[in-house]
Amino acid sequence: MSDPAASSTQSRLLHRLSHLLQRNWRSLVLFIPFFWLLLFFLAPFFIVLKISLAETIIASPPFTPMIEWVDEGIMHIRVVIDNYAYLWEDDLYAKTYLNSIKISSISTILCLLIGYPMAYAIVRSSHTTKHILLMLVILPFWTSFLLRVYAWMGLLADQGTINNLLIAIGIIDEPLRMLYTPFAVYVGIVYTYVPFMILPLYANMEKIDWTLLEAAADLGAKPMTTFFTVTLPITLPGIIAGSLLVFIPATGEYVIPDLLGGGNVLMIGRVLYNEFNANIDWPVASAVAIALLLLLVLPMMLYQHMQAKQVEAE
Amino acid sequence: MNNGRKSRFLFTATCFGIAFLYVPMILLIFYSFNKSRIVPVWGGFSTKWYGVLFESEEVWEAIALSLKIATVNASFAMILGTLAGLALVRFGRFKGRTLFSGMISAPLVMPEVITGLSLLLLFITLKEFVGWPDQRGFTTITIAHITFSMAYVAVIIQSRLTGMAQDLEEAAQDLGAKPLRVLIDITLPLLAPGMLAGWLLAFTLSLDDLIIASFVTGPGAVTLPILIYSRIRLGLRPDINALATIIILVVAIGVLVAAWVMFRQQKQRELELSMSEEA
């Protein structure tokens, strides 16, 4: 490397490289995350789609290939929609999808009923209280989701805290069955997802000009009228964002129905997981995933649209 | 009168809400000091379950694996998420922007079972065609975690960038700095707190993930949530209460310290600002 010619070539190369970087760094900044997401986020969906159109066989991998080369380069494309037909015909799946939507919708409404007054109270409180309350809402979000669900197993069990307490004060004689019922699933979903409702509501309410409410009151509107004609409409973007952030992931929830619902509460996330891991039926599991995705694509696009609008507004 | 009733309602609602969030966790901690093996039946104070917990080699291995994955994940997710956030906010319109912003925000709401299943099928397909990854475990879990964590980082960076005044960057540009210089010398240092917040969030998300990890893991790679899940599926266990107590305390202390540091920094900045205005 002591050769002056070589070192000059090297420095010229370095110069060229830095020049190239100077001019094209924008493409590089964009290319790296773009490529990552194409490979690890978008491509996998096409693979799921492909496998959902295959037949189940006992082999490794346990499905038929889509493209087969029959001799002399004749390509044979095999697409089977049996898995989707199976989902459609088997009542179990339709019921499970509907049940998932029912559970996540009711949970979303419950989260809204609990979260809305809380977000409102946080926004309207004084500076220091606001920070403390916000932190109290965010803190559970940083602790383990799994352990928060586990905490409710201890509360709701037949020998659990709630039953022990109710028996001790003499309200009931025998333990109430709460764990492994739909009730437990609702409690679990509301408990773990309520911060997702409060935070977007808070973010929305913080930007609101609250003198509007005073104006309405000054003009003689009753509190109820003010709430329905002023407060509710201006906080609607927050309500929608929070509801979507609860509804979408709750529909595909696996851990909560599994740990708190036992086998008694059918939810689609759990069916997918079991289809894949217990039944080793990859094509059906893939079809279940695609169907779930189709079910959620509208709310997801709505959420995406709202996010984009919010960024533009800023 | 009406106002008083309203604020009383709000106060009660908030108290109930906070109690709803915290009572289960407090009980979880309380029963970790229970002598009895049956979790919700109090049998006297004891710390023996902490001993039982840490005697287990499995627990230590799971903690080590989870921390390793979380650290690598957070670092990659921070870099990728920052690049993505920069591209989305500062590059104006470019080809494929809609697709890109869609791919960035979709992981935030995508059900985990779908992400997990699709990534596993990707890894299996890749192995079949290019021979990599030959074994599932640390690498595959880390890649899966980076993919969804970077979306969260990108959201943080996006909101920081849109909320940030651009006058320093403009000044540097006016003084003749090239765009890349401006990015490295001005924008990135200004973004540093957001990047740190993103790193911490990515770290926590990774430590917390059960579903995606259990899809893409392989034999022998047991993360902490996978271990906890396999134990609590069979019912309540006092040693898991002990583990939960440790996790909750570590997180609470971490969040409090972070909040305090940020609070002090803000105070400091306000002080500097008021002093420079006086001068």
A to B CB pairs, distance under 8 Å? 253
Minimal-distance CA residue of chain B relative to A152: B24
pLDDT band of A190, cuts 50, 70, 90: very high
Phi and psi at residue A77, to the nearest 5°: -100, 125
B144–A122: do the CB atoms touch at under 8 Å?
A: no
Can you tell me the mean pLDDT for A12-26? Answer: 81
pLDDT on residue A77: 67
B236–A153: do the CB atoms touch at under 8 Å?
A: yes
Mutation pick from A31, A37, A218 vs chain B, by most beta carbons of B within 10 Å, is A37
Q: Decide: B69 and B138 in contact? Cβ < 8 Å.
A: yes
Check: complex ipTM more than 0.95: no
pLDDT band of A1, cuts 50, 70, 90: very low
| Residue B126 at interface with chain A, using a CB cutoff of 8 Å | no
Identify which of B251, B226, B199 has the alpha carbon closest to the alpha carbon of residue B141. B226
Q: Decide: A118 and B14 in contact? Cβ < 8 Å.
A: yes
Chain A residues whose beta carbon lies within 8 Å of the beta carbon of residue B13? 114, 117-118, 121
pLDDT at residue A40 above 90? yes
Domain boundary assignment for chain B: 57-271
Phi and psi at residue A169, to the nearest 5°: -90, 5
What pLDDT digit, counting tens, does each position of B28-46 carry? 999 999 888 877 778 889 8
- Span A86-313: which CATH code? 1.10.3720.10
A33–B154: do the CB atoms touch at under 8 Å?
A: yes
| Residue B236 at interface with chain A, using a CB cutoff of 8 Å | yes
DSSP for B73-94, written as a single string: HHHHHHHHHHHHHHHHHHS-S-
Coil, strand or helix at B134: coil
How far from A274 is each of A37, A280, B213, B240, CA to CA, in Å?
Answer: 27, 8, 16, 25
A303–B240: do the CB atoms touch at under 8 Å?
A: no
Q: Which helix (H) or strand (E) holds A77?
A: strand A74-77
- Per cent of chain A over pLDDT 90 is 41
What pLDDT digit, counting tens, does each position of A94-139 carry? 899 999 999 999 999 999 999 999 999 999 888 888 888 988 998 8
Burial of A124 (0-12, 13-18, 19+ CB in 10 A): middle
How far from A276 is each of A50, B118, B135, CA to CA, in Å?
Answer: 16, 11, 19
| Residue B197 at interface with chain A, using a CB cutoff of 8 Å | no
Q: Is the dihedral of CA B45, A140, B250, B77 positive or negative?
A: positive
What pLDDT digit, counting tens, does each position of A138-155 carry? 888 888 899 999 999 999
Fold of B57-271: MetI-like fold (1.10.3720)
What pLDDT digit, counting tens, does each position of B153-190 carry? 999 999 889 888 788 888 888 888 888 888 888 889 99
| Residue B188 at interface with chain A, using a CB cutoff of 8 Å | no
Chain B residues whose beta carbon lies within 8 Å of the beta carbon of residue A133? 14, 18
